[in-house]
Every structure is written in C-alpha cells, then in structure tokens.
A = this chain, B = another copy of it.
Amino acid sequence: LYYSNPQLRNLKMIVAYEGTNYSGFQRQQNGLLTIQGVLEEGISKFSGETVRVIGAGRTDAGVHAQGQVVNFGLKNRLPLDQIQRAVNHFLPRDILVKSITEVDPDFHARRSARSKTYSYRIYNSKIRPLFERNFVYHYQYQLDPKPMETALTLLLVKHDFKSFQAAGSPVKTTIRTIHHCKIISIPPEIKIFINADGFLYHMVRNIVGTLLLVGSDRITLDKFTRIFEGATRTAAGPTAPAQGLCLEEVIY
C-alpha cells in the first residue's frame, strides 16, 4: 500500500456530503463530478500533493453521507486541525470534513470496516416535501410503519440477501449479517436504519422498496418472508430512489 511509505501519514477523515449534485462517491474516467474526485482535489489544492483517497462505502449518485470514512497518505506534517480547516476551505459547500485523525499505516477505510449503518428517509404525505426535498423519498400512498417494522426484524434472522441485491451483481457471496435495524416514525416521516457487516449493491434500497409493499398492504408479511427466503430478486419490490439513502456511520 502506498501509504505504508514511512514518509506518509495515514490520515482518516469522517466526511459528510449532500450527494444531490454528484455522480456518486467513486472517481470516474468520464470527467463526471464525484465525491472522491472533489475530495482528492481539495486535499491536493491545500497540500500540493497528489493523493488517492479510499472510501468506506461507494455511495451511488444522489446518495448522502453523514459519516462516510476515507483514508489517504499525506506527506504534509501540519497539525490535524489545520489540515481539516484548510481542506474544508477548498471543498465546496456540499462536502464537509467533520473530523480528521492519524491512524496506523494498516488502516484501510473499506477493508478495516466492521460494520456500516445506512438510513433511509420516506416522506409519507400527499403533499410534497419542501425543506427535506433532496433527502427523502416522497411516497404518497399511506403507509403503516408497524408491519414494516416486523418485516425489517425478520431480516435479522436470515442471512442470505440474494433477493435484495441488484440483478447481475458479481459478488462471491450474498450472505450478510444485519446486526441492528429500527424504524423511527414521526409523521409524515418514516426513517429506517440498517446496520450490517456489509451491504450488497442496492441492498438497502431494495429492502426499502419491498418494505413499502408491506407498509402499503400490497404484500403480506408471509409473502415478504417468502421473497426473502426465495432469494430471487424478481419477487422483491422495486429499488427505492437514491435520494432517501444516507451513509450514517462506519464502525471499525
């Protein structure tokens, strides 16, 4: 790893961003605006060094973060609070470094992560949202959060999430463990939290899409269980849109 270079400090940053105007976290070749690209540029502008940041989660276009974690190697020896201030100065208003610490050379934002927590906000109202509009999925048909909560709890038991991964995703295993999950319902909002040791591609958004079928009484809890156990993507609900999703925290 390049940051095992003894000249480099391995720096860990907690980063928050509004994903609305970005083509996702991961840097792309096509010149599209990405969180990773803008972060690397901000760090370079302040330090004069070329850096490559490693992100804990590759959030999609439109997905937000309260607690994305990145790490990168840096020669610069300035105190960490000065680095944080300088990097924030060079970042746009929709990306923010919340904290910065120096970590062991073997710390890797993605591989060292033990679990991650995502949240998904549903705005359940006939009237569209205003101030929350970029951070919620506006769902007009009335939802009952009770069966949604029961369905969510069922995911704590079984561990194969094949029915909730995006079709055709190339992964070795579809076994994941959800450690914690909860639903907080403060009308008109329903907010879902899922903490797991790992997430398949579109897993949270596919779970939410299927929970919406349960909450609007279009499938039963039995059917939900069968979809889950059947482990086939086609039976599950549609993928909920990106803008309701937020990477809340990464735990090491």
Determine the distance from Cα of A135 to Cα of B98 in the docked complex, in whole angstroms.
19
Q: Is A41 an interface residue (CB 8 A)?
A: no
Q: In whole Å, how far is A229's beta carbon from the nearest beta carbon of chain B? A: 38
Q: Which residues of A from 136 to 185 have beta carbons under 8 Å from B?
A: none
Q: Does A94 contact B (CB under 8 A)?
A: yes
Q: A173 to nearest B CB, angstroms?
A: 35
> Are B130 and A94 in contact, with the CB atoms below 8 A?
yes
**Given the complex, which residues of B lie within 8 Å of A133, measured CB to CB?**
93-94
The answer on a CB contact under 8 Å between A130 and B16 is yes
> Quick check: A128 and B88 within 8 Å, CB to CB?
yes
In the assembled complex, A40 has its CB within 8 A of some CB on chain B: no
Contact with B along A103-147 (1 / 0, CB 8 A): 000000000000000000000000110110101000000000000
Partner of A18, one of B16, B18, B84, B130: B130
Does any Cβ of B come within 8 Å of A96's Cβ?
yes
Partner among B17, B98, B127, B130 whose Cβ is within 8 Å of the Cβ of A17 = B130
| Chain A, interface residues (CB within 8 Å), range | 10 to 19
Count of chain copies: 2
Q: Are B127 and A96 in contact, with the CB atoms below 8 A?
A: yes
Q: Could you tell me the distance in whole angstroms from the C-beta of A251 to the nearest C-beta in chain B?
A: 21
Interface residues of A in 49-103 (CB under 8 A from B): 84, 88, 93-96, 98
Chain B contacts of A130 at CB under 8 A? Answer: 16-18, 93-96
- Which residues on A are within 8 Å of B, measured CB to CB? 16-18, 84, 88, 93-96, 98, 127-128, 130-131, 133, 135
Tell me, in angstroms, the Cα distance from A131 to B128 when the chains sit together: 19
Cα-based distance from A4 to B115 in the complex (angstroms): 65
**How far is it, in angstroms, between the C-alpha of A233 and the C-alpha of B94 when the chains are bound?**
36
Q: In the complex, what's the smallest C-beta–C-beta distance from A13 to chain B, in angstroms?
A: 12
* Contact in complex: A88, B131 (CB < 8 Å): no
- A-B pairs with beta carbons under 8 Å apart, 19 shown: A16-B130, A16-B131, A17-B130, A18-B130, A18-B131, A84-B127, A88-B127, A88-B128, A93-B128, A93-B130, A93-B133, A94-B130, A94-B133, A95-B130, A96-B127, A96-B128, A96-B130, A98-B127, A131-B135
CB distance from A80 to the nearest CB of B (A): 13
Tell me the bound Cα distance from A16 to B125 in angstroms: 16
C-alpha gap A130/B88 in the complex (Å):
11
Question: Which residues of chain B have C-beta atoms less than 8 A from A17's C-beta?
Answer: 130
Please give, as numbers and ranges, the residues of chain B lying within 8 Å of A128 by CB-CB distance. 88, 93, 96
